[in-house]
Each structure stands twice: as structure tokens, then as C-alpha cells.
Structure 1
Amino acid sequence: MRRRSVVLLPATLSLLLTALVGSPLAAEAETRSAATTYTYVNLGWLGVPAGGPISEAWDVNASRQVVGNSSNDQNPAAHAFLWENGRLTALEAIYSTGENNATAINDLGHIAGYTHVSFYEPPHAFLRRDGRTTDLGTGWGSGSGSAAYDVNSNGVVVGTRFRSQGSPVRAVMWKKGKLRDLGTLGGSSDQKWSTEAEANAINDKGQVVGTALPSTGNPLHGFIWQDGRMTDLGSLGGGTEATVAQDINERTQITGWSQNAAGQTNAFVWEAGAMRDLGTLPGGTGSFGYGINESGQVVGRSRTSDSYYGAHAFLWKNGEMVDLNTVVTNLPPDVSLELANAINDDGVIVGQTCYYCDPGKTADPHAYMLIPNS
């Protein structure tokens, strides 16, 4: 379960309880306690020639280990990092002078992402465990590429691959050294740089979520894959923009984003065949769900104005979307939290501060962690 993640998660909702503990409506009708507040931690950036001052956090596990990448304006090549116990450590690419990106980390500390493997080849998906990085390959020959976006506690990895630069992207799974193509929702494409399917997250039950091409063609539809079968999740009512499933928990609650009947793309939670529109922050014209934990809390990004660049990180729980900028007790005055990628089961959130900032928010965009104060 990711941002990943993960994007993922990366990474907000105390929702849709099962019949054992009550209905969603009953849960939301309960008296709400005072809003949780958070302590902000700047995770910094990699102080290497090709790193910093920009960094992004993609995922966090139960031990508060965080993965992401660092880059800079002059050299946008990404360098993967692991943050733990207050220390940021660079993770080397398989090809020593190439770039890499860490997108997900499971509770065992296994890290997934993608890395350059040679000067001439596109990046390949990797899995890092016990200090060793393994090239997961592509299943195809020279010129093909792949990327990993999530890894579960069983070491199963999901992501994408492509046969050559510009060929359609396919959703795949790596399990016990074997690669499996997850198929599509019946569609295929002969267009360059198109997506036939991508797998964004996997839970410990082996359920995979992502987005795939239906037999009717574009737009892409969100899916859940289980027991060898890909199922369409539906949409919020719109039909001209893609639906993307971004993360899934062990209760088979899924978050992502979809166009609604009004034509606006909003974050959603899907459970038991029903998709719920999470809305936006005040003034917003769209939102995106990136991460979900076992309590059903969702984190993501919501626009806060008509401007595409006016966005704040949010937490959704108990039927309410909260601007995370308003509940951090020590947020520096020049920092704005733009997006939240992942949330662990203790409510720890990771993400990134702003690229295109609100007025007066001039700090460099950095990876951050929010720790609940209660």
C-alpha cells in the first residue's frame, strides 16, 4: 500500500465502516473530537552535486521511514533517498552516474522505484532490500523500460513497462522473480506515448489498483485487479476525463480521482462498488486522492482557486476535508504544503511543499513529514 506509493503515498478519511462497527452515515453522525494538529518536519534535500535544493517524499511506512527523491533547477535528474531517524541518505542508481527515484517502502523497509541501469537503456524498476538493489527487468529486450510504483509486505511489486521509447505503457507485477502483465479493460492503442494500463498500488492481499484503457477507447478507467481479473471501478458520473485509482488499503477501500457529472475532477473513495466524491477545499475547482490508510483516512491535493497552481495538501476523514496548512502548529511563515502523497496507520503524513507558491510562500520545495500531536 503506497503514496505511491505511491505514489503513495502516497498517503484523511475515517469512513465507510463495516457492518461490524456501524454504517458510514452512523460513523459520520458521531460527535467529532477537536481537529488533530500536527508537527511539521522538513526532511531536507541531498547535499550532493546533483541533488537539492528540491525534494519530494513519496511514501512512509509504520517505522516512519520515508522515501522520495531530490533534484535541483539546474540539474533536474532525480536522486532517490531514504529518510529515517532524522537522517537523509542517498540511494545509488544501478548505473552509478544515472538517476533514480524511490517511490514506495513497505513495513519491512523494502524500497521500490526505478533506476538507470546503463548509459543507453531506459530506466528499469528496482527493489532494494538488505542494502542490495535488484534490477527487476522488463521482460523484453534492449530499449525497453519499466518502473515500480508500490511494494507490499510480501515483496510483490507493481508498476509499468514499455517495449521501446514511445510504445504503449502496460501494467505489470513482479512476484518471486517472475513478471506478469496485468492486461487492460479490453482496450489497446497504437498511439505513441499512450497508456494501455498502469498499476499504482498493491495491498497485502494482492489486490492491485490503477488505470487502464477500456474497449471503447479513451478516457482511461480506474480498475481493481484480483485473482487474475481486472474490474472497472466506474466513475463519479463524468465521461470525458480519466479515472485513476491511486491507492488501496486492506479493507479494499480505494482512493484516486475521477470526473463528476458537473465536469470537475475530484478525489474519491471507492468501497463495495460505490464511489464517493470527496469534494474540494473551499474555493477549489478539483482535488486528487493519493494515499489511504487502514482507518480510511485519505490524503492528497486540492485546488484552492481557479488557478491550476493554487493547491493545498488535504486530509479527509469523517466526511470532512481539512486543509493541512491550517492544522500544523509550527509551519514556517514562508512554507505552504502543496500536496500530501501518503499516510501511515498512525496518521503520519508525507508530501511536498509548494512549487508554485501562495503569496509570501518563498521557501524551496522540500519533502516534509507531519506528525500528529495527539
Structure 2
Amino acid sequence: MFQHLHRASALTFALTLAAPAGAAVKYNVTELKPLPGFARGAVGDESYGINDSGQSVGRMRNADSLNGARAVVWDRNGNVTQLATPGGAWMSKADGINNSGVISGDIGVGEAGNFDTRRAVRWTSPGNYQFLLPDVGRFSTGDVINDNGWIGGIEYLGAYDDMSWRAYVWSPDGTIRWVDPNLSNGRIEWFGANSSNVFSGTQAVIGDDEGTSFAAVVWSEGTGPVALPTRAGMIATSGGDINDGGIVIGADWDGNITDTGLWWDAAHNLHTLGFVPGTTGSGPNAINNVNQVVGWSADENVCDPFGDFSCRRAAIWDLSGGATDLNDLIDPGLGYTLLFANGINDLGEIYGEAADATGRRFMFLARPVPEPATWAMMVLGFACLGTATRHRRRAAAA
């Protein structure tokens, strides 16, 4: 009995280490490598999604133009693999990846530079792709994917320049669910999806009395689109990622210079995220299933973080209001500035964009040190070693 209690204590200790609480955690930073023929730190490189295996996805390009952009997946060590496209594809982009390694995004097939030729797609492996919607000659995207393989995106209703679209949700059996916001000139764009097939995002209303306004929304098959509460006096509210607990993150804008991070609990009650000390604005981008939130912060009295990304700083929040600049948690000797964090997995691994001392921009993966799983295995290993030693002593005594 005493021996089992020791094992239980060791397991409890290991799990405690595997999920560190409020104490500051240092991070190792890995640069995500470029494809052959692409310059490291090229203009327009972007990363969009991460899974619990540390795989992240995005696109690489050598110029502002999307011509020649290529969808890629990186492993935890920063190694890069290009995703397959049909012959004649002029661009590709990967937006989301789930824990089975299935990737969503879009591929441009046809006239180079013509957005109306871009089509929503999923990759079941780096070498295998499937278009999601019938080809009707209109722009479509595969923006988010959950662990059930459900994908959310948009399809334009006319030419790309018309800026009018409708949202859809696609499931692996081929069913397409068109999501109607029931508003004149309304449109929804997805930014998150959880394992309960609840999708979250932002609804824009174009051409109303105040110009363009935004609202955070969630959708499920049972409810349809549901608008989330807003704070009084805000010009616009946006909805972002959602986790398996039903917590949605987002932000609002007061029409002046302040962007404030928000979160809604599973009952849709609205809460605000804190500001990193010394900053006045924040933009959360992702939440994991242990309620860690990542994004960016900035002093909006000094710069415009939407016009000048270099003034952003990657940040991490907990839902109690604590906010930390990720740059305070990495080795300053690296000479890196983490500009914004795009996502975080359930191991606390964070990906995003950074710059070095020369201003060269690159994508990064930041991993907690000590890594939670490593500590857990070490402690459990010591516990098993102690148990085996006691067994040997008993055998020798017998």
C-alpha cells in the first residue's frame, strides 16, 4: 500500500510539472526553415496553424505578390515540406492543421494572380489533396479545421472585387452547410472550430448606417449563427479562436486608439483580457485547451500596430487577467524580437513571427523549457526506478 502511495505521489508530481501554473516559463526559440529557392525571412512568409505534434502550417513567398506562394508544413524542429498542388497551380496556402495532420487551405489553379481561381482544399497528407467545393469559378478558402476533420471557410458570391461572400462548413462525408447570417450584406469569416463542431468567427455588416461594423459569432448545426455580447460604446467587436471548453477569444475597438482583448465563457458571458504592462492595446489570436491565450500587444499611443507590425510584441495571457510579453521569457542573447504569436497547442508550444537584430523577419516555434512532457517522463522514470530497486532488494532478501 505504501509503495502504491509513493507511485501515486510521483505521478501527481509529474503531472504538476507537466502543466506549470502561474510561474514564468522560459522558452527555446526555433526558426522555421525556408523551402529551397525561398529566402529566409522573405516578405509575406506566414504561419497559421499548429497541432499537438508541433507541426505548423502556412505559406512561403519571395515577394508581396501571391504569385508563386507555396503552402508548407513544418515539423517541431523547423524542417519544412511543400504541400502538393496540381500542375499549373500559381499559388497555394495552408491555413489550419488538426491532430491527425490533415491540413486545410486553398490552391490557385488557372490564370496567375486571378483570385477567382483560388479553391478551398484539404491535404490528407503532404502529397494528397482534395478540393472541397464544386468549381463554379469563384474564390473559396479552407480557413479552419477541427479534430473531426470539419472545415470552415468562405465562398465568394461573385467576382473577388465584389467583396461579397458566404460562409460554409464542410464535413468529411462531403456535406456542405451554407451559413446564412440573416443580415443584408452580412458575411461571416471563421477563425476557430472545436471538437464539438462549434465554429467561431467574425460577422461583418457592409453598407449599414455606420459603414462597416463587426460582431463576434459562434455557429453550430443546432443553433445556427449566434452573436456574442459586446461592450457598450465599442465600434467593432471581432471573434477569434474557440477551444474545446467553448471559450471564445476576440477583441473590440473603441474607435479611437484602443484595441482590447476579450474572451467569452461557455455561457457567452463577456470578459476582458489584461494588458501587458506598458502597453495600451492587445490582439489575442489563439487559445488552447488549458486556457492559455496568445497574440500580440502594443503601445497604441506610440504606433499603429496594424500599419507597423514591428511595434507589436508577442504576448501570452491567462484568463485571470495576467499578461506577459513573450520576449521576457526567451534568451535575450538571441537578439530576437517576437512580434506576434499566431497559435498555441496543448503542450504550450507557440508559433508566430519574429525579427532579428537586422530587422529580418522569420517564423518561429517557441517551446517551454523544461518541456512539460520531458519533466513528466523523467519523474515517472525515477519513480519506476525506485520501485524496481525495492523489488530487487525484496528478491535478494527472500
* Shorter-chain TM band: 0.7 to 0.9
Q: Determine the structure 2 residue equivalent to 1:147.
A: 141
2:141–2:153 Cα contact (<8 Å) kept:
yes
Q: Distance in 1 between matches of 2:333 and 2:242?
A: 29
Match of 1:180 among 174, 177, 180: 177
Q: Determine the structure 2 residue equivalent to 1:13.
A: none
Match of 2:188 among 197, 200, 206: 197
1:187–1:215 Cα contact (<8 Å) kept:
no
* Greater Cα shift, 212-221 or 107-116: 212-221
- The residue correspondences of 1:1-374 to structure 2 (distance < 5 A) are 33-48=22-37, 53-54=42-43, 55-73=45-63, 76-77=66-67, 78-86=69-77, 87-119=79-111, 121-130=116-125, 131-137=127-133, 139=134, 141-142=136-137, 144-163=138-157, 164-167=159-162, 168-175=164-171, 176-184=173-181, 186-189=182-185, 196-213=187-204, 217=208, 218-226=212-220, 227-241=222-236, 243-259=237-253, 264-271=258-265, 272-305=267-300, 306-308=302-304, 309=308, 310-317=311-318, 318-329=320-331, 332-333=334-335, 335-354=336-355, 361-374=357-370
Q: Distance in 1 between matches of 2:21 and 2:292?
A: 15
Instruction: Give how far 1:285 is off.
Output: 3.2
Instruction: Give how far 1:202 is off.
Output: 1.1
CA gap 1:153/1:367 in 2 versus in 1, 3 angstroms:
same
Q: Distance in 1 between matches of 2:344 and 2:73?
A: 16
Q: Distance in 2 between matches of 1:215 and 1:169?
A: 11
1:223 maps to amino acid: V
Q: Distance in 2 between matches of 1:258 and 1:103?
A: 24
CA gap 1:38/1:235 in 2 versus in 1, 3 angstroms:
same
Q: Distance in 1 between matches of 2:347 and 2:207?
A: 41
Flag the structure with more relative contact order, 1 or 2, with Cα contacts below 8 A and sequence separation at least 6.
1
SS of residue paired to 1:366? strand
1:219–1:239 Cα contact (<8 Å) kept:
no
CA gap 1:181/1:49 in 2 versus in 1, 3 angstroms:
same
Instruction: Give how far 1:290 is off.
Output: 0.7
CA gap 1:179/1:166 in 2 versus in 1, 3 angstroms:
farther
Q: Distance in 2 between matches of 1:81 and 1:202?
A: 21
Q: Distance in 2 between matches of 1:266 and 1:331?
A: 31
CA gap 1:140/1:207 in 2 versus in 1, 3 angstroms:
same
Q: Determine the structure 2 residue equivalent to 1:8.
A: none
Alignment length (residue pairs): 329
Instruction: Give how far 1:52 is off.
Output: 5.7
**Unaligned residue ranges in structure 2 (runs of 5+):** 1-19, 371-398
CA gap 1:197/1:158 in 2 versus in 1, 3 angstroms:
same
CA gap 1:171/1:330 in 2 versus in 1, 3 angstroms:
same
CA gap 1:32/1:261 in 2 versus in 1, 3 angstroms:
farther
- Deviations along 1:207-231, whole A, 9 cap, x unmatched? 0111114699441211011214211
Q: Distance in 2 between matches of 1:72 and 1:213?
A: 31
CA gap 1:50/1:209 in 2 versus in 1, 3 angstroms:
same
SS of residue paired to 2:140? strand
Instruction: Give how far 1:36 is off.
Output: 0.8
SS of residue paired to 1:338? strand
SS of residue paired to 2:143? strand
2:52–2:346 Cα contact (<8 Å) kept:
yes
- Deviations along 1:77-121, whole A, 9 cap, x unmatched? 432111115321112333544111111100000000111122264
1:291–1:341 Cα contact (<8 Å) kept:
yes
Cα root mean square deviation, aligned:
2.5
SS of residue paired to 1:44? coil
1:52–1:70 Cα contact (<8 Å) kept:
no
**Unaligned residue ranges in structure 1 (runs of 5+):** 1-30, 190-194, 355-359
SS of residue paired to 1:326? helix
Instruction: Give how far 1:327 is off.
Output: 0.3
2:52 maps to amino acid: A
Identical residues among aligned pairs (%): 26
When normalised by structure 2's length, the TM-score is 0.76
Q: Distance in 1 between matches of 2:66 and 2:285?
A: 23
- Deviations along 1:286-319, whole A, 9 cap, x unmatched? 2111100011110001113520131101000142
1:362 maps to amino acid: T
SS of residue paired to 1:302? strand
* Greater Cα shift, 45-54 or 307-316: 45-54
Q: Distance in 2 between matches of 1:363 and 1:233?
A: 39
Instruction: Give how far 1:281 is off.
Output: 2.3
2:235–2:254 Cα contact (<8 Å) kept:
no
Instruction: Give how far 1:361 is off.
Output: 3.3
1:288 maps to amino acid: G
2:118–2:140 Cα contact (<8 Å) kept:
yes
**Structure with a larger share of its residues in helix:** 2
2:92 maps to amino acid: N
CA gap 1:147/1:33 in 2 versus in 1, 3 angstroms:
closer
SS of residue paired to 2:327? helix
